[in-house]
Amino acid sequence: MAAEIDALVIGAGFAGLYQLHTLRNRLGLSAKLLEAGGDLGGTWYWNRYPGARCDSESHAYRYFFSRELNEAWECSERYPGPPEILKYLGQVAERFDLRRDMRFGCRVVSAHYDEKANRWAVETDAGERYVVTYLVAAVGCLSSANVPKIPGLSDFSGKWYHTGNWPHESVDLGGKRVGLIGTGSTGIQAAPVIARDAAHLTVFQRTPTYSVPARNGPLTPEFNRWVRENHEEIRAIAQSTPNGHAFRIASRNVADVTPEERQAIYEAAWETGGLQFRATFRDLMIDQAANDTAAAFLKGRILATVRDPKTARALADIDHPYAAKRPPIDTDYFETFNRVNVALVDLRADPIEAITPRGIRTQSTEHLLDVIVFATGYDAMTGPLLAIDIRGRGGRSLREDWRAGPNTYLGLQVPGYPNFFTITGPGSPSVLTNMPVAIEQHVEWITECIAHLRRSGIDSVEADPEAARKWGEHVNETANATLLSKAKHSWYYGANVPGKPRVFMPYAGGMARYRAICNDVAAKGYEGFLFNRGGVREAPGVRGGEVERFAVERGPGI
Ligand code: N01
């Protein structure tokens, strides 16, 4: 027997919890949430690797829709770690009584649209079935772990872990020889903590990366009071900046200041720490010469920190502009290479050939290991959606439709998949922002859209293929107008997963501009979407006209 309800939400992270709240508590729909993990938390349920911590500052890494919620929550550190974020989300679930409609340990394996009934038939790995009108994927952008297919992994006699599927019971690395593959945001967080526990750590680096100190620390009662008292102001900043953080991007260009002033600005930003480094100048992401100055400063810091010259050179030999790949922030990452129990293997000079029963064999050496940690990232953005067998109108399959790359309108809907919504889907700012801010905007837009359908007697909404095509072009153009396009080997392009189409997936036009586009689209009666009312198709407004208008208003979107 299938359970029949109005709406089903997949995923119990920031996105899923808020979406369940709005659909059930604001619109009064019958709604359920299904989650593959054993509890709520989304990315924070799975990512419990040593050193895991949020890169967004805690006063912005939260929901802003409720002042009361904000007043009831106090964070202890500048950057919250998984236990604190899980506690926060637990309080949210309790406050809005969400758990009674959440099911854990339920992986959705298929979702098929029944055109005649205008319903989605959804099935879990346990064979449970749901028949629903509205289906919302809140599956996260970085939830499909990428374990590279290195020959020999199954022969390894030690233990191995991917950081995104870290065991919930504690992993004792004490006295162990650990190999860490990957030096993105995760590897950079994990290395210093693993190095403190392990007998020896070998870091296998394929692409060196910039990093700025996080400068984490406890928050004072005064700061927390300021956060409570300035809820509206912090929200206003986070919702008006291109990246959804609660700091503004400077309005000056690099060329506006003298080299001495520039150096002082970078030094101050280095001392402040965190992602704010990117906000020092407005043209860092659009002007190569401007970016070169930040890159030179950051490379200089690596060379000044790491004592062994060969290791320092390998770490600082970075081939892409600063922040063209997602910029990590760290706590003692480069300092870690000064420890006697830490070694760097530069895979560009000495590539991995195989994993052996005893460790990792590179071209020159067999590195003996007890544990291998894969900090090798994710099949980002499309991976979590394509892991589900999603079939739309006429049985068309999302895996087929996206064979050459994702195709969405605003990252919210896919042509041919009525009443199916994606929160922070490909084509939306998502991973280029402070995620809760992007999530809130999507949840609220989807909620208002569904409310509109119900008020107006509309049976279904889906993206107009022409509007989606134009939006895809705009997403590409926008990325090409920034230096993000200079790091083709990034997960933004899907380049980390062999065989994945090379398409720039997030929208680089900035969160504030994107929000304005979505608002205009809704204000014009959902321009660029198609409605079905009593079997009759309607196309409100001009198709995707807003997209064209915004496309010409170029600026530093990110
Ligand atoms: O993954 P990544 P991540 N052999 O894809 C290397 C978010 N995040 O988990 O660059 C050897 O960035 C790969 O090398 P290369 C954040 O958005 C957020 O670190 O492909 N190496 C790279 O060094 C972030 O961007 C927080 O050459 C291989 C690394 O593995 C995103 O998650 C914290 C390899 C993967 O880096 C992903 O970060 C942490 C192979 N076969 C992360 N395959 C917050 O605080 C891959 N690599 C919110």
Distance 9 CA to ligand 1 centre (A): 28
Q: Is the CB of 379 under 6 A from ligand 1?
A: no
Residues 406, 424: Cα–Cα separation, whole Å:
13
* 3-class DSSP state of 215: coil
Phi/psi-derived region of residue 240, left when phi > 0, alpha when psi is between -120 and 50, beta in every other case: alpha
Q: Is the CB of 496 under 6 A from ligand 1?
A: yes
In the sheet where 342-346 sits, what is the strand order?
159-162, 371-374, 177-181, 200-205, 342-346
Return the number of other C-beta atoms located less than 10 Å from residue 313's C-beta.
Answer: 15
Q: Is the CB of 291 under 6 A from ligand 1?
A: no
Per-residue model confidence as pLDDT tens for the chain (558 residues) = 889 999 999 999 999 999 999 999 999 999 999 999 999 999 999 999 999 999 999 999 999 999 999 999 999 999 999 999 999 999 999 999 999 999 999 999 999 999 999 999 999 999 999 999 999 999 999 999 999 999 999 999 999 999 999 999 989 999 999 999 999 999 999 999 999 999 999 999 999 999 999 999 999 999 999 999 999 999 999 999 999 999 999 999 999 999 999 999 999 999 999 999 999 999 999 999 999 999 999 999 999 999 999 999 999 999 999 999 999 999 999 999 999 999 999 999 999 999 999 999 999 999 999 999 999 999 999 999 999 999 999 999 999 999 999 999 999 999 999 999 999 999 999 999 999 999 999 999 999 999 999 999 999 999 999 999 999 999 999 999 999 999 989 999 999 999 999 999 999 999 999 999 999 999 999 999 999 999 888 887 645 444 444 443 444 444
DSSP classification of residue 173: -
Pocket test for ligand 1, best of 206, 381, 492 (most atoms within 8 A of CB): 206
CB 426 within 8 A of CB 382: yes
Q: Is the CB of 43 under 6 A from ligand 1?
A: no
Residue bearing the CA closest to ligand 1, atom 10: 207
Q: Is the CB of 408 under 6 A from ligand 1?
A: no
Q: Is the CB of 80 under 6 A from ligand 1?
A: no
- Give the residue from 525, 459, 450, 551 showing the smallest Cα distance to 28: 450
Distance 163 CA to ligand 1 centre (A): 10
Q: In this structure, what token pair is assigned to residue 83?
A: 């236990």
- H/E stretch holding 390 reads strand 389-391
Q: Is the CB of 81 under 6 A from ligand 1?
A: no
Q: Which atom of ligand 1 is nearest to the CA of 163?
A: 9
Q: Is the CB of 203 under 6 A from ligand 1?
A: no
Give the end-to-end CA distance of the chain in Å, rounded to a whole number: 48
Q: Is the CB of 185 under 6 A from ligand 1?
A: yes
Give 302's contacts (C-beta < 8 A, 6+ positions apart): 312, 315, 316, 334
Distance 374 CA to ligand 1 centre (A): 9
Degrees, nearest 5: CA angle 208-146-189? 45
Buried b (16+ CB within 10 A) or exposed e, 271-298: eebbbbbbbbbbbbbbbeebbebbbebb
Q: Is the CB of 382 under 6 A from ligand 1?
A: no
Q: Is the dihedral of CA 401, 403, 406, 407 positive or negative?
A: negative
Q: Is the CB of 211 under 6 A from ligand 1?
A: no
Pocket test for ligand 1, best of 79, 185, 367, 489 (most atoms within 8 A of CB): 185
CB 65 within 8 A of CB 72: no
Q: Is the CB of 326 under 6 A from ligand 1?
A: yes
Residue bearing the CA closest to ligand 1, atom 8: 185
Q: Is the CB of 431 under 6 A from ligand 1?
A: yes
Strands (E) across 458-523 are located at 460-463
Distance 274 CA to ligand 1 centre (A): 18
Distance 492 CA to ligand 1 centre (A): 11
Q: Is the CB of 183 under 6 A from ligand 1?
A: yes
Give residue 336's identity as a one-letter amino acid code: T
**pLDDT on residue 555:** 42
Q: Is the CB of 142 under 6 A from ligand 1?
A: yes
Distance 411 CA to ligand 1 centre (A): 23
Q: Is the CB of 48 under 6 A from ligand 1?
A: no
Residues 356, 200: Cα–Cα separation, whole Å:
18
Residue bearing the CA closest to ligand 1, atom 40: 148
Give 155's contacts (C-beta < 8 A, 6+ positions apart): 355, 356, 357
Q: Is the CB of 497 under 6 A from ligand 1?
A: no
**pLDDT on residue 1:** 84
Distance 435 CA to ligand 1 centre (A): 17
Residues 448, 443: Cα–Cα separation, whole Å:
9
Q: In this structure, what token pair is assigned to residue 489?
A: 């080997």
Distance 161 CA to ligand 1 centre (A): 14
Distance 387 CA to ligand 1 centre (A): 20
Distance 190 CA to ligand 1 centre (A): 11
pTM summary value: 0.96
Q: Which atom of ligand 1 is nearest to the CA of 150?
A: 41
Distance 260 CA to ligand 1 centre (A): 34
- Give the residue from 497, 384, 496 showing the smallest Cα distance to 430: 384
**pLDDT on residue 537:** 87
Residue bearing the CA closest to ligand 1, atom 16: 185
Distance 182 CA to ligand 1 centre (A): 6
Runs of H (alpha helix) within 481-554: 511-523, 545-551
Distance 325 CA to ligand 1 centre (A): 10
Q: Is the CB of 447 under 6 A from ligand 1?
A: no
**pLDDT on residue 541:** 63
CB 400 within 8 A of CB 386: no
**For the purposes of burial, counting CB atoms within 10 Å of the CB of 347, is it exposed (0-12), middle (13-18) or buried (19 or more)?**
middle
Residues 515, 554: Cα–Cα separation, whole Å:
15
- What Rg do the C-alpha atoms of the chain give, in angstroms? 23
Return the number of other C-beta atoms located less than 10 Å from residue 87's C-beta.
Answer: 14
Distance 496 CA to ligand 1 centre (A): 9
For residue range 336-388, what is the model confidence (pLDDT) as tens digits? 999 999 999 999 999 999 999 999 999 999 999 999 999 999 999 999 999 99
